[in-house]
């Protein structure tokens, strides 16, 4: 689908869909940033880390990552969405995740957050093969996706007009597809069990990460 028509009020549309669970968009971004920073620890070395977000939209996650990681880039096919971003010029590029403008092994960490369920099923293999191609050896491809086994997640997705074309994929499918793309050492965890902030809830969520009932899941795999 094209997100051009949604770029001007993207956040408002997401927040309306989330009203049913009493949460705002920022709550989900906080959880994703924590997971991305934790995954970064799997990458060897303490030097500069180049990160690419595929499907960055209006740059909300990219902007949150920039102060925390060394070099963060974003691509999205929606020129209108990129135009609504406050990101510095040159770090957001209009490009499709199926055909990125980068050389082999350009990034240490390639992420796609709530993107793959918008990619047509018959193009998902090509999408992940491209993500693997531009990931350095020893680097990671990381996905975050809605958990279709969670009834509240299905309710929110059903209410969100941005997701009218979404075909959700469960964690086992994501795992198989990452492996088929030539990636290994796959690690996954379920997140967003509780609608509350705080260290206690994060501690408890970490211990439930194996349970396939979280609102979303995060899965990453290494390029050998």
Question: Smallest Cα–Cα separation from 115: which of 90, 98, 102?
Answer: 98
Over residues 146-169, the mean pLDDT reads 89
pLDDT category, 58, cuts 50, 70, 90? confident
Least confident of 60-69, 111-120, 166-175: 60-69
CB half-sphere exposure, 174, CA atoms < 13 A: 31
Global confidence as pTM: 0.90
Q: Which two tokens stand for residue 169?
A: 């994929």
Burial class (CB in 10 A: 0-12, 13-18, 19+), 25: middle
Provide the β-strand partners of residue 29. none
Give the closest residue to 73 by CA, choosing from 47, 101, 41, 104.
101
Listing DSSP states for 162-185 in one string gives GGTT-----HHHHHHHHHHTT-EE
pLDDT score of 162: 76
Instruction: Measure the CA–CA gap between 189 and 166, rounded to whole angstroms.
Output: 21
Taking residues 136-149, what's their average pLDDT? 97
Tell me the mean pLDDT in the region 130-149: 97
* Residue 210 structure tokens: 């194996």
What is the arithmetic mean of pLDDT over 139-149? Answer: 97
Domain layout of the chain by residue ranges: 4-222
CB 76 within 8 A of CB 55: yes
Rg (CA), the chain: 16
Q: What is the second-level CATH architecture of the domain 4-222? A: 3-Layer(aba) Sandwich (3.40)
The reported pLDDT for the residue numbered 114 is 93
Tell me what pLDDT residue 25 has. 75
| pLDDT score of 141 | 98
Residues 204-217, mean pLDDT to the nearest whole number: 96
Instruction: Please report which confidence band the pLDDT of residue 44 belongs to, taking 50, 70 and 90 as the band edges.
Output: confident
Mean pLDDT of 21-25: 66
């Amino acid at each position: 689908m094209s997100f051009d028509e949604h770029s001007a009020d993207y956040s408002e549309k997401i927040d309306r869909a989330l009203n049913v669970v009493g949460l705002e968009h920022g709550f989900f971004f906080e959880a994703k940033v924590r997971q991305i920073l934790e995954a970064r620890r799997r990458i060897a070395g303490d030097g500069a880390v180049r990160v690419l977000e595929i499907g960055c939209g209006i740059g909300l996650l990219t902007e949150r990552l920039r102060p925390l990681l060394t070099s963060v880039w974003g691509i999205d096919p929606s020129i209108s969405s990129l135009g609504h971003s406050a990101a510095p010029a040159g770090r957001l590029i209009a490009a499709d995740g199926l055909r990125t403008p980068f050389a082999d092994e350009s990034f240490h960490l390639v992420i796609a957050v709530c993107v793959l369920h918008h990619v047509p099923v018959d193009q998902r293999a090509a999408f992940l093969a491209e993500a693997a191609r531009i990931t350095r050896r020893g680097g990671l491809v990381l996905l975050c996706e809605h958990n279709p086994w969670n009834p509240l997640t299905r309710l929110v997705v059903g209410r969100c007009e941005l997701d009218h074309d979404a075909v959700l994929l469960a964690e086992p499918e994501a795992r198989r597809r990452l492996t088929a793309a030539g990636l290994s050492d796959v690690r996954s965890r379920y997140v967003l069990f509780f609608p509350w902030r705080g260290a206690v809830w994060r501690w408890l969520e970490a211990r439930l990460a194996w349970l396939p009932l979280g609102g979303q899941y995060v899965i990453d795999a290494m390029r050998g």
